[in-house]
Amino acid sequence: MGTGRLRYDHESHPPFAVLVGSVAQHMGLMAVTLVFPLLVAQAAGVDAEMQRRYIDLAMLAMGVATLFQCWGRPVLFLPRIGCGYLLPAVFTAAYLPAALYAARAGGLGAVAGMTIAAGLAQVLFSRVMHRVRPFLPIEIVGLVVMLIGIILGVVAIKLMVGYSPSMAQVTLTGTGGALAGLAVMVALAAWGSPPLRAMAVLAGLAAGTLVHVGLGFGLGAPRPPVAVAPLLEPIRWPLAVPSFSVGLLPGFLAGALACILRSFGDMVASQRANDPNWRRPDYANIEAGVMADGLGTLFAGLIGTMGLNTYSASVGLSVATEVKARRVGLGVGLGWIALAFIPGSSVVVMAIPRPVLGAALLFASAFIVLSGISILGQRMLDARRTIVVGLGFLVGISFDEIPDFYARALSASAQELLTSSLVLGLFTALGLNALFRIGAVKSRHLVWTPAAGHAVLRQFLMDSAAADGARTEEVGRIAQIAEEFATAAPSLVEGPVEVTTRFDEFVLDVAFAWTGGALQPGPVPSFDAGVDEDAMLNGITFHLIQRLADRTHRRTLPDGRQELRCEVDQ
């Protein structure tokens, strides 16, 4: 059993063997999403040869979109593009219902045109994300990450047991191989040496595939037939001319919004996974990532395929294997581009048995769920925010539990918007969050006296923090500031102290106003008999408060009272 740790952070340079193995793991896990564009091509009624060419373009789109996201640097005259983390791009179910409808109504050209519109919407939104931060609080991001993990886990189990919605039953075809692969992944991740942990999923995919074949099921048995062309045949583009329809736009815009929030959650999870001292989302990084996500979808539409999104399962995989190097993501992008120009490679990639892919997806989804729970746990949640998260979660999962109800209760246009449990849960949480912001108290006041003790002041701050969903760590700093002020207050204050708090998504702000002496730097600490001990101790208190706060402001108010305002970023 390995006892050491072998981590490769996002700017590290893994050895060649680790790099190649990690690239193969992520590409193998991503391959299952090629089913989405294949379903779209079939819905458009194209023949097997066109389906094969469509998958070639789909692999090219995945490769280019992954390079956009993992680049994380400026490009020519454009600002920074991509979050710069190991976060590949894959085809997503968020666009699938709208894309299937468009394919049936207008063919592949309609899918391409509306995908271009969705990509442009994401790019434009990335430029204004800082203006809507109050409507996208971190607890909703945590909810999205948790829902994604649960949804992926359920999908994974369905793949493992061969569940078919049309048949409403399980077949257990290939479940033995899936369980063998999952056992290998878990064993290597839990007890393997550091190099083996880095290759846990690849080893599990190989073992599961061998068991699957050994049980007589063959490779890719559930796959639909796709014609194979000779090697080195040049890629064919365009397959269809993009067309646009206003009537198809709502479904694609709803998918774009879901993708924005999903990528938001994936990038927060990536930031947290790569920074052990993570405190708050890096919004500049997220904006660059959302732009890359939009550019990837825009490129996919321009070459004729459906939209893409960041891949949550890859976040879980990188956490599980502890290989988070950005170079792996760049290798994944180049790998898919290379496969796109080798006709027939799509058949080989998609030959990995679906139950075995389900095992890898289940393994990665466990880490995603935990990441979402951890993000939620960093917030103090009052009744309003608890309702937002709780109802968003429960209403979201009800979509998959009672699909017949939603099919009957929702109009056709609403069904185009609410395409999955993630979208329904997300819209529910966003709507409740916006509703609860109406009439929300922006600042809170307390009249406090030193004789009442620090406990009263601390409870007031805790209640204010919970009402505003402040981060637990930053609330602790505010509470320490209040405790230090309470220590100095008896020697400064003449009468009551007015305490005012104002908390938001950016800053925790607490202000103390009182009649009496100012809290200011004091004399150098000394044991001399003539030193003013109160001034010395108050000076130490002021120094400690300055260290605890990100910013402090002192002033004399027009009515002659003293004010000390402390700000803590969150």
Domain ends where: 335, 352, 369?
352
Average pLDDT for residues 334-358, to the nearest whole number? Answer: 80
Strand partners, 73: 81
Between 226 and 101, residue with greater pLDDT: 101
Q: 464 and 430, same structural domain?
A: no
Between 467 and 60, residue with greater pLDDT: 60
Q: Quote the percentage of the chain above a pLDDT of 90.
A: 18
Count the Cβ atoms, other than its own, within 10 Å of residue 195: 15
Average pLDDT for residues 496-514, to the nearest whole number? Answer: 85
Q: Is residue 418 part of a domain?
A: yes
Between 349 and 29, residue with greater pLDDT: 29
- In this prediction, residue 221 has a pLDDT band, given cuts at 50, 70 and 90, of very low
Between 78 and 105, residue with greater pLDDT: 105
Q: Quote the percentage of the chain above a pLDDT of 70.
A: 86
Q: 419 and 493, same structural domain?
A: no
CA distance 504 to 468: 7
The answer on pLDDT for 431 being more than 70 is yes
Q: Which residues of 122-159 are buried (b: 16+ CB within 10 A; e: fewer)?
A: bbebbeebeeeeeebbbbbbbbbbbbbbbbbbbbbbbb
Q: Is residue 240 part of a domain?
A: yes
CA distance 371 to 172: 30
**CA of 36: how far to CAs of 90, 329, 452, in Å?**
10, 22, 64
Q: 426 and 323, same structural domain?
A: no
Q: 420 and 457, same structural domain?
A: no
Q: 390 and 300, same structural domain?
A: no
How would you classify the pairing of strands 551-556 and 562-569?
A: antiparallel
Residue-level pLDDT at 526: 58
Average pLDDT for residues 426-430, to the nearest whole number? Answer: 87
Between 141 and 568, residue with greater pLDDT: 568
* CA 81 to centroid of chain Cα atoms: 17
Q: Is residue 207 part of a domain?
A: no
Q: 87 and 143, same structural domain?
A: yes
Q: 476 and 436, same structural domain?
A: no
Between 159 and 566, residue with greater pLDDT: 566
> In the chain, what is the straight-line distance between the N-terminal and C-terminal CA atoms, in Å?
41
Q: Is residue 374 part of a domain?
A: no
Strand partners, 553: 565
Average pLDDT for residues 209-230, to the nearest whole number? Answer: 62
Residue-level pLDDT at 236: 66
- In this prediction, residue 222 has a pLDDT band, given cuts at 50, 70 and 90, of very low
Average pLDDT for residues 186-192, to the nearest whole number? Answer: 85
Q: Mean pLDDT over all residues of the chain?
A: 82
φ, ψ dihedrals at 566, nearest 5°: -120, 135
Q: 431 and 448, same structural domain?
A: no
Average pLDDT for residues 99-106, to the nearest whole number? Answer: 84
- In this prediction, residue 40 has a pLDDT band, given cuts at 50, 70 and 90, of confident
Domain limits for position 138: 16-161+221-352
Strand partners, 537: none
Q: Is residue 63 part of a domain?
A: yes
Strands in 43-199 per DSSP E:
73-75, 78-81, 89-91
**Domain total for the chain?**
3
Q: 456 and 423, same structural domain?
A: no
Q: Is residue 206 part of a domain?
A: no
- Model pLDDT for residues 166-177, shown as the tens digit of each residue: 555 556 667 888
Q: Is residue 367 part of a domain?
A: no
CA distance 478 to 565: 11
DSSP 375-433: HHHTB---HHHHHHHHHHHHHHHHHHH-HHHHHHHS-HHHHHH--SHHHHHHHHHHHHH
Q: Residue 469 is part of a domain; what is its CATH number?
A: 3.30.565.10
Q: 391 and 335, same structural domain?
A: no
Q: 426 and 450, same structural domain?
A: no
CA distance 380 to 304: 46
Strand partners, 500: 445, 511
**DSSP assigned state of 167:** T
Residue-level pLDDT at 227: 47
- In this prediction, residue 439 has a pLDDT band, given cuts at 50, 70 and 90, of low
Domain ends where: 415, 440, 465?
440
Q: Is residue 172 part of a domain?
A: no
Task: Report which listed range, 184-193, 323-332, 443-452, is most confident.
Answer: 323-332
Q: 151 and 49, same structural domain?
A: yes
